[in-house]
Structure 1
Amino acid sequence: MTEPVHVIGMGLGPSDLTASHLALIERATVLVGGKRHLSYFGQTRALKKEISSPVSGVLDFIEQNMAAGLVVVLASGDPLFFGIGKTLIARLGADNVFIHPNVTSMAAAFARLKLPWQDAAWVSLHGRENMSALATAMDDRALLCVLTDPKNDPWAVKKQVDSHAYAWQMWVLENLGAPEEKVSTMDAHTDADTVFAQPNVVVLQKGELAVPSGPLRLGTPDNWFVHEKGLITKASVRVLSLAALELAPDNILWDLGAGSGSVGIEATLFLPDGFVYAVEKNQGRVAQIKANVARFKVKNLSIFLAELPQGLTDLPRPDRVFIGGSGKNLGQVLDVVATVLNPLGRIVVNTVLMETLHPAVSKLEEKGFRVSLTQAQISKSRNMPWGRRMDALNPVWIIVGKKGKL
């Protein structure tokens, strides 16, 4: 029976290899790896094959030699983190490949900085034009590891950082695990002639939000609001939802499951004589709403910390209700809202879940509302080296319930 190919992650270098890794390498009939990795094992008796382009030739070689004995492949870092592991599994089949994970450059970078990284995200710019992905990640996440290359180097990352609404702490980690390893911060005082050694990775940690580039407006850019992990009604959907509410100047609006408060805050533009009551159950998001209210100097909005539908009957009766989040309590929330909503009022529910769509429509119709549906399927352009392509956002259902006859 043919033994599976063993793919060993080298971590940051030979010192990260365990005794069992070294025993496999010593027993190997064929040893495959990059030139630098093979140089560490010049004394082994195995037939050596350097990984070079095209990789298909290396895969052919591995497949042809599997029957001859143990084939060991040496990979940088962790074989399944931007390594050759995925390619080998696709070619040979999962049963014919055994992966030995090791320390990744991402793990090592956060270890050097002593930063917990369970909530971190990564973006790879290595061999790809992916700045739009970095921009999106910076909007949504607070801690990032960026994999670079000679073209998409730390200076290219810094251009993106400098154009962002938030201030960022930026570190560059060069030659991780090597004797010449270097960790440095990068800021406005970094010498413009600095050249960073390859390989390197960049770590970004989000700081304070900068002053908005302009006043509150219809379709206020998402990154002007304090929010977390993309949990915000996106600007394009926000515009459609506000249109669906058909706000009058003196309306009372309830913004339920308010999140970052973006819908309620933007609604105040249309309520010079009205008021918004934002209800949110998460203490952290209540803090975000407060920060956003302060940023945009909103005067006609109050915030309530509550688990819906608790506390709703204590609020002034609404003319309009926007429900951006209520979880499994949506039916109970609609029961309350339908009862207290003023005559000729409107309820707008946003959802990305099919499981929410039918219950919401059924409950509104059960309460005698006239219901209409809009599915918003938004795509945004993404720059490519030779032009643009479109990236689709999650489809959103906008459910409108109208009370009484107009």
Structure 2
Amino acid sequence: MHKLKVVSLGPGHPDYILPIAKKEIAAAEVILCGERHLESFDATGKEVMIIGRGTPLSELMQRVKECYPVRKTAIVVSGDCGFYSLLTYTKKRIPSEDIEAIPGISSLQYLFAKIGMTWQDAEMMSLHGRNQDLPGRAATGKKIGILTDGEHNTAYIAKTLRENGYGEKFLYVGEDLSYSDERITRLTVEEGLSFKEKGMAVVVIADE
């Protein structure tokens, strides 16, 4: 019987995928992943299930559940699987002892490095599909790393900061991180109010 591998892809570009992750993806016969993940590895000859193409995730996971005991199967996730990924969802449906998680570089870890800041003293949170207490995190005075979505974007973050008395902060917005069209922008809160992302982004809030 095989273990189900939950493989972290890092920020996306192959240069930032750990060798063990490349090895597990290459060995997999069945892969569940997102559309853009396919840009990062060769899926030739594999059964590939794509998240977001209309099939409910519950049905895709049922197929994974059927496959992994008898065929080498991997769920590929962005960033690091330990930070707001499908690992949580997977562990609710498949026994933990049947899962092997492969770590990776998270998008926020990557962004902190690119802007030359440490993150051991930062608050980390996700506004991707969820509400969290951003003003409460800002009240700690610490740097904050945030995963965003289309609604809870840079403009939303800037508006929330200004309305709660944190208008002196700076925002670092990372888009398409590690790819050739990567863009990292430093903004004041005022500038952030009208900022338009190209797509998905991650944000760091800091005092400098």
State the Cα deviation string for residues 312-331 of structure 1 (Å, max 9, x = none). Answer: xxxxxxxxxxxxxxxxxxxx
Matching residue of 2:113: 111
SS of equivalent residue, structure 1 residue 56: helix
Moved more, 63-72 or 93-102: 63-72
Give the 3 Å change call, closer, same or farther, for CA 40–143 of structure 1 in structure 2: closer
Give the 3 Å change call, closer, same or farther, for CA 160–43 of structure 1 in structure 2: closer
Matching residue of 1:126: 128
State the Cα deviation string for residues 148-196 of structure 1 (Å, max 9, x = none). Answer: 1111111111112223334212221111111111111212663865411
CA distance in 2 between partners of 1:19 and 1:117 (Å) = 24
CA distance in 1 between partners of 2:159 and 2:19 (Å) = 44
CA distance in 2 between partners of 1:19 and 1:84 (Å) = 21
State the Cα deviation string for residues 196-245 of structure 1 (Å, max 9, x = none). Answer: 122111111147xxxxxxxxxxxxxxxxxxxxxxxxxxxxxxxxxxxxxx
**Preserved contact between residue 30 and residue 73 of structure 2 (Cα < 8 Å):** yes
Letter in 1 for 2:201: N
Structure 1: gaps of 5 or more residues: 208-406
> Does the alignment pair 1:149 with 2:164?
no
SS of equivalent residue, structure 2 residue 205: strand
Matching residue of 2:170: 169
Task: Write the mapping of 1:5-404 to structure 2, written as runs, cut at 5 A.
Answer: 5-13=4-12, 14-52=14-52, 53-130=55-132, 133-166=133-166, 167-187=168-188, 190=191, 194-206=195-207
State the Cα deviation string for residues 291-327 of structure 1 (Å, max 9, x = none). Answer: xxxxxxxxxxxxxxxxxxxxxxxxxxxxxxxxxxxxx
CA distance in 1 between partners of 2:124 and 2:161 (Å) = 15
SS of equivalent residue, structure 1 residue 116: coil
CA distance in 1 between partners of 2:28 and 2:100 (Å) = 14
Which TM-score applies when normalising by structure 2?
A: 0.89
CA distance in 2 between partners of 1:99 and 1:191 (Å) = 36
**Preserved contact between residue 124 and residue 144 of structure 2 (Cα < 8 Å):** yes
**Preserved contact between residue 121 and residue 141 of structure 1 (Cα < 8 Å):** no
SS of equivalent residue, structure 2 residue 60: helix
CA distance in 1 between partners of 2:206 and 2:18 (Å) = 32
Q: Which has the higher contact order (CA 8 A, sep 6+)?
A: 2
CA distance in 2 between partners of 1:48 and 1:110 (Å) = 32
What is the Cα deviation at residue 51 of structure 1? 2.2
CA distance in 1 between partners of 2:88 and 2:11 (Å) = 20
CA distance in 2 between partners of 1:10 and 1:30 (Å) = 16
**Preserved contact between residue 128 and residue 152 of structure 2 (Cα < 8 Å):** yes
CA distance in 2 between partners of 1:179 and 1:29 (Å) = 29
What is the Cα deviation at residue 141 of structure 1? 3.5
Matching residue of 1:280: none
Give the 3 Å change call, closer, same or farther, for CA 5–177 of structure 1 in structure 2: same
CA distance in 2 between partners of 1:22 and 1:185 (Å) = 33
Letter in 1 for 2:50: E
What is the Cα deviation at residue 56 of structure 1? 0.9
What is the Cα deviation at residue 23 of structure 1? 2.4
Structure 2: gaps of 5 or more residues: none
What is the Cα deviation at residue 40 of structure 1? 3.8
Give the 3 Å change call, closer, same or farther, for CA 45–156 of structure 1 in structure 2: same
> How many aligned residue pairs are there?
204
What is the Cα deviation at residue 134 of structure 1? 0.1
**Preserved contact between residue 8 and residue 79 of structure 2 (Cα < 8 Å):** yes
Letter in 1 for 2:61: L
CA distance in 1 between partners of 2:87 and 2:165 (Å) = 38
Letter in 1 for 2:206: Q
Answer with 1 or 2: which has the greater Rg.
1
SS of equivalent residue, structure 2 residue 23: helix
What is the Cα deviation at residue 29 of structure 1? 1.7
Poorly superposed stretches of 4+, deviation over 4 Å: none
State the Cα deviation string for residues 105-145 of structure 1 (Å, max 9, x = none). Answer: 11111111111111100222111233xx0011111232101
SS of equivalent residue, structure 1 residue 67: coil
CA distance in 2 between partners of 1:189 and 1:156 (Å) = 12
Give the 3 Å change call, closer, same or farther, for CA 205–47 of structure 1 in structure 2: same
CA distance in 2 between partners of 1:21 and 1:44 (Å) = 17
